[in-house]
Amino acid sequence: MTSSEALALLEATASLGPVTHLPLWEAFEAERVVPAATALLEEAEAEFDRLEADAPATWEALMVPLEKMQLRLGALFGGINHLLSVKYSDALQAAYDEVRPRYVAFSNRMAQSRPLFDALCAIRDSEAFAGLGPARQRVLTESIRGMERSGVHLVGAARERYEEIQQRLSTLSNDFQTNLVKEEKTARVVVTRRSEVDGVPAPVLAAAVRTAVEDGVQEASVENGPWHFVVNGVNYSAVIQFAKDRRLRERFYRAFRERGSGQGFDNRPVLEEMLRLRQEEARLVGFDHFAALSVDAKMAGTVEAVWALLDELEAAARPAAESDRHALEQYLVSHDLGDRLEPWDVTFVSERLREEQYDYDSEALRAYFQMPRVLEGLFSLTERLYGLCIRQVEAGAVPVWDESVTFYEVLRNGEVIAGFFVDPYARPGEKRGGAWMNTVVGRNRTLAAAGQTSSLPVALFVMNGRPPEDGEPALMSLEEVRTLFHEFGHATQHMFTDVEEGGASGLNLIEWDAVELASQFNEYWMEHKPFLKAMTAHVDTGEPLDDETIDRILASRNFMVGTATLRQLHFGKTDMALHQGYGLPGVNDDRTPFQIEQDVAKETVVMPMLEDETQLPAFGHLFAGGYAAGYYSYKWAEVLAADAFAAFREAGLDDESALIDVADRFRRTVLGLGGSLPAKEVYRQFRGRDATADALLADQGLKAAG
């Protein structure tokens, strides 16, 4: 097969009515990646040579062909990256590793092209700029700022070093994630005695038995074992929350905390090198440290503003967290569960205390949260708020990457306006942990088909829930339901955008610390009783959850909120401290990243931790994602989300007319405007003012409502 034939296969797409540009996922076979990517890069490099030579200073002559080139590259390499996340194979990884250096080099070349930069500045400074409109103006000005942050002014040895750093960071980030995926294939907690798994949910035991058989055990059963637990988030959550055997909880806690540190999969030197390189990168482009470089492109604007928010939230949460610890210690001793609270006791005892105080069993609640019913409830809410219709298409109507993946269309007034994929279940060893949303196709005038003004947006969101058992519907925990709502919130911002300029539509150009606004806002609907009840139906009887239990669930929403807040602040502060201080030349601080992390924990965390405990070797957000010096964004956006939902409460959640009015304003601004305006300005258009932390702190019971 020639390279051009391979490229044609990987660029071929499917359509479903007006939804176009759907990838043929099955075409992304490892042996096609190298010839296809090589051919595309050769074409892109030749086109960019022409653009640099001509440097046309008009939107149509420069920005349009540049966007077309970037869309093709994004579709191909985005498809490869997606499949590495959900259908990992060594062969696909090896193919990607072969072409990635050239792709990174070309991306750096575009970001550091002085002819391109000068042409962009010429358009910005021309009379034509005023006629471009807000979206194109912002795409242009942010492109210029992005190039400045990417070292467009660098020359000679500095430029070469910057390119070396980018190549190395790309390799290290890929290594970091690959180590975790590979390690999960073999990492096990093996249990042979029935008494040790007492309390662990039956579906989790069944999965552990299947794993044992896959590992070569000849005879295994749910009743008698042995049980081979994959060391992943699904199993960890179940064991640490429900296993009565303290030794098993300790084994699993330690195994989970050791992810990314095992022989052959050790991410510790990887992340140390990444931190040093990021500091060097920041210095090269004129910033004191990487934290300043990162925050410069975010809504917060300054490192000082980030620390101010983190400190404000910590001051409010600490008394509640200290009270949480005291309550757990009392419960532990009074119920003969131990004489000292250990790290592997915290979640288990918290769950028992919550059961005692609020009288509901979180594992038993799964029977009421059937995934099809939960999806129906989520979609019904979305339809009600935004005047839409969501319908699942029949299997086989569009290409998917796994048989468990489903596809949906979104309609308004009978017309399809968007689509999305759902990949709900864990697949150990081939699908990375966690949950995320990603874009497949954006709303973009450049991709418009005949009769369209723009392409229709398509999203995907991925979870790692327990797979269904024996033909039964998948059952979800409350936290999994919350995660589903969270990721679909991201999807709404991608799908409901009104902006047709691709560079500013959907999530594009939205500052990173505002990106979580729509997702965290969506979670608040789980706390509205009529809606929560309508989502429930017992898997055997079909009966909804009773009012008394729902009341107890809602009453428990702030249970251990101080502890949860400090946990997030620990992550955010560690992130900022590392990217402000570690690896800087001339800084008199010889602490390792892990010592910095532990020092932050001592100042921030109230609950017990292991003396040498670290999250960093498995902290994909920082080292294999986009959250470096930006993990604080979850708390920043949480403030926005709480303040935004307060507008719905003020309108009246049961006042249909008023609710629809404020939802429409939310759709037209927060969801509709994308990155066509700065996030602060978009929020002001919705709320009429800036957000404050008051609504969040009052909602969490950490501050009296004003």
Task: Write out pLDDT tens, residues 639-679.
Answer: 999 999 999 999 999 999 999 999 999 999 999 999 999 99
What are the extents of the domains in the chain?
Answer: 3-111+113-149, 187-257, 366-555, 635-699
Q: What integer pLDDT is reported at residue 706 of this predicted model? A: 46
Residue range 66-90: mean pLDDT, rounded: 96
- Nearest C-alpha neighbor of 232 from the set 467, 582, 500: 467
For residues 301-327, give the mean pLDDT. Answer: 96
One-letter identity of residue 537: A
Candidate from 268-277, 283-292, 580-589, 664-673 with smallest mean pLDDT: 580-589
Residue 428: per-residue pLDDT: 85
* Average pLDDT for 38-56: 95
Compute and round to an integer the Cα radius of gyration of the chain: 25
Does the fold of domain 366-555 match that of domain 3-111+113-149?
A: no
pLDDT reported for residue 704: 53
CB 439 within 8 A of CB 507: yes
Q: Which CATH superfamily is domain 3-111+113-149 in?
A: Endopeptidase. Chain P; domain 1 (1.20.1050.40)
When pLDDT is cut at 50, 70 and 90, the band that residue 586 belongs to is confident
* 343 preceded by a cis bond (ω within 30 of 0): no
Q: Which residue has the higher pLDDT, 468 or 274?
A: 274
The model's pTM:
0.90
Average pLDDT for the chain = 95
Classify strands 415-425 and 458-465 as parallel, antiparallel or unpaired: parallel
Summarize pLDDT for 91-126 with one digit per residue, the tens: 999 999 999 999 999 999 999 999 999 999 999 999
- Reported as a single tens digit per residue, the pLDDT across 381-390 is 999 999 999 9
The yes-or-no verdict on residue 80 having pLDDT over 90 is yes
Residue type, 282: A
Q: Give me the CATH code for the 366-555 domain, please.
A: 1.10.1370.40
Tens digit of pLDDT for each residue in 388-406?
999 999 999 999 999 999 9
The DSSP code for 544 is: P
What's the pLDDT score for residue 705? 46
Beta bridge pairs of residue 406: 422
Q: Is 418:389 a contact under the CB 8 Å cutoff? A: no
What is the distance between the alpha carbons of residues 414 and 449, in angstroms, rounded to a whole number?
Answer: 19
Backbone angles phi, psi at 177, to 5 degrees: -70, -40
| Three-state secondary structure call for residue 126 | coil
Q: What is the pLDDT of residues 621-632, one digit of tens each?
A: 999 988 999 999
What is the DSSP secondary-structure string of 171-191? HHHHHHHHHHHHHHHH-EEEE
Give the model confidence (pLDDT) of 443-488 as tens digits: 999 999 999 999 999 999 999 998 998 888 999 999 999 999 999 9
Residues labelled as active-site residues: 487
